Amino acid sequence: MNLKAALFPLALAVLAGCTPYTVKYDYDSQAPYASFKTWDWYAASKKAQGKSDGVSNPIMDRRVRSAVERELAAKGLKVEKTAEPDVLVTYYPIYRQGTVYTTTTLGSHWGYWRPWGYGVGTQFTEARRYREGSIILEIVDNKTNQLIWQAVAEGALTGLTDPEDAEQQVSQAVKTMLSRFPPPRK
């Protein structure tokens, strides 16, 4: 076995750990997940009458919705537009502003690092603002109108450099989020 073949799985594991977001889950362990066969968007249901879905970017909205639809179809759930679906799905993009401070010291110092040493130098601090975006995905039991499953991809909408990057990262984040729906049976 050559060295490249031995290191390839290790490199894949390291790259997999480098996702720019983290995913967290929560769910109702008593919900009847095995009975869920159909779904629709919460905003399209009667329960959402007059409520806004909180989405202000139609391009990102289509991107996230497409990823959710694709992943739920892969799990065998069918969209139900005419009758009452088993579950309702919604998502929220959440953005927050943050600031990172970087301090740089220039110059030298003599005196064995004691407080009475001699030195000439300067120090400056730079503040950089950034926008962090996350996706919250929720699934509601349509019969009880109770939240039964939720996932958050913290940072999934952060640092998107172009449309292709956004498409890939959102698609992967939604896939990771829905990888644990339905939750494992105990």
Closest Cα to residue 42, out of 50, 32, 31? 50
| Domain residue extents for the chain | 20-96+132-178
Confidence bin at 47 (pLDDT 50/70/90): low
The hierarchical CATH code for the domain 20-96+132-178 is 3.30.160.670
| DSSP reduced 3-state for 110 | strand
Q: What is the pLDDT of residues 66-119, one digit of tens each?
A: 999 999 999 999 998 878 999 999 998 888 887 878 888 776 655 555 566 566
Q: What are phi and psi of 13, to 5 degrees?
A: -65, -40
- The closest of 40, 118, 21 to 82, measured between CA atoms, is 40
Predicted confidence (pLDDT) per residue in 99-110, tens digit: 878 888 776 655
